[in-house]
Every structure is written in C-alpha cells, then in structure tokens.
Chains A and B, each alone.
Chain A
C-alpha cells in the first residue's frame, strides 16, 4: 500500500516537473496571477461584455499579451496600462510572461500556447529578438496579428508584425549621454592620452534588442560629443558593444575610454560587481546603468565604494534608466544626477489600442515612444511622475 502511494506521488511529481520544464516553472504561478488580475480588471471595468468573448459587448475582442517577465515593477506598470485600455475599450487581455527575462525558451512556449488559443491578436515584448522569429511565422500562418511592444523584432517575417509600440531606445540612450556630457565636459576636455578619463556603462545583456539599442545609443552619442570636443575615444569591454561601434581608436591612443560591462547572468549581485569593477578604477568619471537592474547595481556598488557625487569634482557622476524606489532615492540624495524613464504604462496602453484597431480592420503604423530625462527638479512633474513606478 505504502509503495503504491509512493508510486502515485512520484509520478505526480514527475508530471509536475515535466510540466514545469515545458511551461516555465514558477513563471506560470506568477503570471497566472498577473493574468487573472488583468481579467478581473477588464470585467470590472466593462459592464456590457459577457464573460465569453463571443458574447460580444463593446468590442468583445480577446488578446494574448506576453511580457518579458514580471520581474520588475516596470512590467507591472505596463500591465496597468493594458488593464486601463481594456477597461476603456471593453476588450479582454490575458497577460503572461516568463519568470525571468533570460528565460527565452519559456517565452517561446508561451507564445506558441497563445497562438493555439487563437486570440484576436497577440501583444509581445520579446526577450530575445532572434528566438521569436519562428513563432511569429506560426502566428502569420494562423492569421493572428502581432503587435510588438517595448522591444521591436527586426527580423520578423514580412507581414507578421503589424506595428511596434516601443521606446526609441537608441534615442533614449542618447538622452542619457546628452544629459551626462555637460556635467563632465570639463574633465573630458582636460583628458590626454597620458591622463585618460573613463566613462562606464553597465548593460544587462548583449542579446535583447532594446538593451542593445540603448547601450549603443549612449555609446554613439557620447562618442559623437567627445569627438566634437576634439577627443579620441576607445570603447572597451563587452565584445558585442565594442564591435558594434565605429569611429573609435585603440585603447592606447585614446583620451576618453568608454568601458562597457555586461554581467554573466542578469542577477543583482553580478550587475553590481560589473559596476564596481568600473567604478573602482581611478580614471572613471561617470557611469550609466542602462536599465533598472543595472542602475541599482551601480547604487549597490556605491554603498561600498561611496564614490558617486552630483559634483564631478567630488566623485563619479551617475546616471540611471527606468525607475524604482532605490533609483528615485539616489536621485533625491544626489548620488545620481538623473535618469531616463520610458513610459511602460503608455506602451501597454497603446499596445491594446493598436491591437483593437487591427481587429477593427484599421490601418496601423509603428508608434515610437519617447525617453524622458528626469532629475531632482522634475521628478514630481505631471508628465513624469506617473511613469516613475516604485
């Protein structure tokens, strides 16, 4: 008897682990939660629509939304925008996403599952822009329109992606460089080949398109500004970003060095180690963390180094990206001179509107969203504050 119970338990456990391998482990539990939250938001806001989408209502469309993860509050703001739009339009959206932004395979499974459900449209924030191409082909064959949000997919099969709602990440990265440069301009002008200055950048990875573009946007703008100031620039560090930059010189000949750090995994401790590695160097004058995790990595590293300062004469100038309580605090207490925010809420919101337009048969086009600079002075401003999630 005991053996039988054990056998049953064991096989149950095995099935569970299999299901988890296929479906993304804890991601399911979490995302179910997010999904049901979105659903209840919809039904609460939408009086006319029945519980079944075929029952009609205002619009009655049903969409599948797949975000990169629910890891950061960033995606929660996006879900908030999705719910808001659903309520306004009377449509349904089921939000899902892997446990971790690096769980690329899990996300693919989720996209394929979403296609099986035959929704009126799919909203997708791709973790890895290359891996989703096959799934987009499937969606195209199944006749399901896809709107990419947050992250665009360059190599998407012709006709599969109807529109992309995304921050112009290259421009957003450039915003960080434009606001950092005036503060450190004097130091850059004083730099020589014997007395180099170093500007750091920590990027979460070298695979996601938005991080790539943001990282390159910062590097290219900084490169341009330094070159205009008559300085020779070298880019060192992560191979991807080094190879992606043109117009640089060898490290030995350079007066300004842009060092790019990418952690081996997207964990907070490794992100802070990358920041610390750069900030420990004596010639480092400024550092940019290009998303929430890496910006907080800079802040964590500073807890030990204590080198960040609002005045370039006193220490390293820090600039962040996205929001979250630690970053807002760093800006308030002068560790960061400012940060660049996107509007995840608006992206989620516009994604639903675009999907609804497609279902209505309207023509849609790409929607580039801005990156906004915020600092101590405008953090509370009406057009900035709603994007600064905790």
Chain B
C-alpha cells in the first residue's frame, strides 16, 4: 500500500507483477508450512538485496535498448577487491566499502565510453568487461577467497545495514527500507529528471533525440555509469549477506537482475520500463530461488521451472498487448 501512495496509481504491468508475486507467496505457503515463517521472509529479502541493486542499475542500460552483462562478475570482483583491502591490508571497513562502490562506478564509466563514445554494441562491450571483471578481482587479490568481517566481529557492523539483530535475537531486515528509498529515488530520476527522460528518449529513438539537440553520448554514458554504481553497491550488499566471496563466481548473477527487470516490464528493445516494475520483477526471481527448494523441488527441476515461469510472465504481457 505504501507503494501506491508513493507512486500514485500502479500501472497495469506493475499490478500484474505484484499479482504474480502475491500468487507465488500464496502458492508456496500452501505447499510448504515452513515457507510461511518469518525467517523465510527475511531470507527472501536477504537474497533480494544484491539482485535488486543490480536490477535497479541495469534497468537504465536496458531502457536505452542496451544491456550490461558485466554487473554479475563485476559485483563479485568489487566485493573481492574491497574485502581484500579490509582483511589483508588493514584498511578501515568504510574505505573498503567505498572502494567497492567506486571500482563499480569506474567500470560503469568504462562501459559507457565503449558503448556511447566508441559505438561498440552493448552486448559485446559488456561481455568483454564481464570477462575483464571476472579476472580482475582474483588477479588483484592473488586469487584468494575473501571473508568480510563477520557480524560478530568489531568491523562487522556494516552487515547490520542490511540485517539488524536486536539484543533479544530478533532479526529485522532493515535493508528493505533502503531498497524502497532507492526505488523512490531512482523512480524520480527516471521519470522526472533530465537524465531519466533523455535515457528513455534514447531508448525510443536515439537519432530523433540527437536531432533535438540532446548530448546523446553523455546521457547514453550516464546509463552505464548508473549501472556500474549500482553494481558496486550490490557488491557491498553481497559481501554483507554472505560469508565468503569466492573468486570466479558471479557469472549468471546478471541474468537474475536482467530477468527481474524484463519480468517487471522493461522492454528488451528499449524505451519502456519503470523502476517499480523492476523492483517487483526481482521478487518474482527471488521468491522462485527460495521458494522452489522449500516445496521440495529438486535441483534440476528448479532451473527448468524457473525458465518456464519466466516465459509465462513475459508471455502474459505479450498476449495482453495484442488484445
């Protein structure tokens, strides 16, 4: 309901995705008694933070008609670099977090230059940075897995940004508050600022936007910078949620985020999309990742099922548009 107040009337697509989310919660709750418990709810949120951050960021390149494939391996490598500095070089945790976000932004700028200035196709450019980031983190951290300080240690307070455990042991997933704040901010950026409007315009018709006198290169680049910045933040969220960052992991994370955005109504051909839609779409993905094991579906079937549900989610939209 809070969402409704913040955004006025839900658009049709968002209402539908919200419906899917609710339907999934109901279905999983009926099928699994342990699913409908507070810890599971917290766990869905825990799993959602880094995907949400990636998805909020990647929505912008997607809206320009491009894509950013470097965010998955990117976030792992940013978290590795930041964590390596904290654990092995004795850097204060705040600096580690900052480094994590800044390296993300830097890769975002790099992607932006490749795509907007040098006119490389986004798929190819970000596929290359995906490879670069996959090797970059391990290369800079002598290929070691890094465990950011645990919640119990002195430096582990940053983990409480996302999950606060009170003295009595009650777990409060405050990370979701930050996510909602970011959703509000980025919705504003997309719908009401020059950056957002021009990014939408580039996605609808780049040439017309250029002829209208807009500095297309700059705003096109901005889309990738936003994506990189959020990948950096996703790196922090990932480090805060999980025990150890393993070098070489992260490939495929971007698909969860891109999948979430597409389910949420962002058009893969550009020009269309909302932040709220992306946010809700991410929950379709996260609920599936947590819910399917809970209802007893075994590994291989989880993946098959996930694919089918995503097809269905996108298909509903296609059918609706045709009517």
Contact = CB atoms under 8 A, between A and B. Distances in A.
Contacts of B43: 272-273, 276, 301, 304
A55 interface: no
A281 interface: yes
A28 B145 contact: no
Contacts of A72: 145, 244, 246
Given A238-B299, A273-B47, A300 B241 contact: yes
Given A26-B73, A37-B142, A301-B43, A270 B289 contact: yes
Contact of B135 (A29, A262, A281, A303): A29
B150 A329 contact: yes
Contacts of B302: 264
* Residue from A71, A238, A261 with most neighbouring chain B CB atoms (10 Å): A71
Size bin of chain B's contact surface: 35 or more
A6 B144 contact: no
Interface in B24-67: 34, 37, 39-40, 42-43, 46-47
Given A26-B138, A27-B248, A70-B138, A300 B290 contact: no
B247 interface: yes
B163 A30 contact: no
Given A30-B135, A100-B249, A277-B294, A304 B73 contact: no
A17 B131 CA distance: 8
A305 interface: yes
Contacts of A16: 128, 131
A201 interface: no
B95 interface: no
A264 B299 contact: yes
B151 A303 contact: yes
Given A29-B139, A306-B169, A99 B248 contact: yes
A31 B131 CA distance: 14
A95 B172 CA distance: 45
Interface in A302-331: 303-306, 324-326, 329
Interface in B139-196: 139, 142-145, 147, 150-153, 163, 165, 169, 171
A47 interface: no
A265 B249 CA distance: 11
B293 A17 contact: no
B217 to A, nearest CB: 14
Given A9-B118, A100-B251, A280-B39, A329 B152 contact: yes
Interface string A261-279: 1111101111011101100
A357 interface: no
Contacts of A390: 147
A99 B294 CA distance: 29
* Residue from A20, A325, A326 with most neighbouring chain B CB atoms (10 Å): A325
A306 B298 CA distance: 25
B124 interface: yes
Given A33-B143, A73-B145, A100-B251, A26 B135 contact: yes
Given A6-B118, A100-B249, A264 B300 contact: yes
Interface string B67-84: 000000100000000000
Contacts of B252: 265, 267
Contacts of B289: 269-270, 273
Contacts of A333: 152
Contact of B134 (A26, A37, A272): A26
A281 B308 CA distance: 28
B139 A30 contact: yes
A273 B135 CA distance: 27
A76 B143 contact: yes
A290 interface: no
A274 B299 CA distance: 10
A329 B159 CA distance: 16
Given A262-B298, A305-B39, A269 B143 contact: no
A41 to B, nearest CB: 12
A269 to B, nearest CB: 5
A333 B156 CA distance: 15
B243 interface: yes
Interface string A176-211: 000000000000000000000000000000100000
Nearest to A260: B298
A293 B246 CA distance: 9
A84 interface: no
B40 A280 contact: yes
A182 B125 CA distance: 57
A25 interface: yes
B7 interface: no
A262 B298 CA distance: 7
Contacts of A17: 124, 127-128, 131
A10 interface: yes
Interface string A112-133: 0000000000000000000000
Nearest to B147: A325
A389 to B, nearest CB: 9
Contact of A30 (B124, B125, B248, B292): B248
B163 A304 contact: yes
A293 B243 CA distance: 9
B294 A304 contact: no
A17 B127 CA distance: 8
Nearest to B40: A280
A296 B244 contact: yes
16 contacts: A6-B119, A16-B131, A30-B134, A30-B247, A31-B143, A72-B246, A239-B298, A264-B300, A264-B303, A265-B303, A269-B47, A273-B289, A277-B294, A300-B241, A324-B243, A326-B150
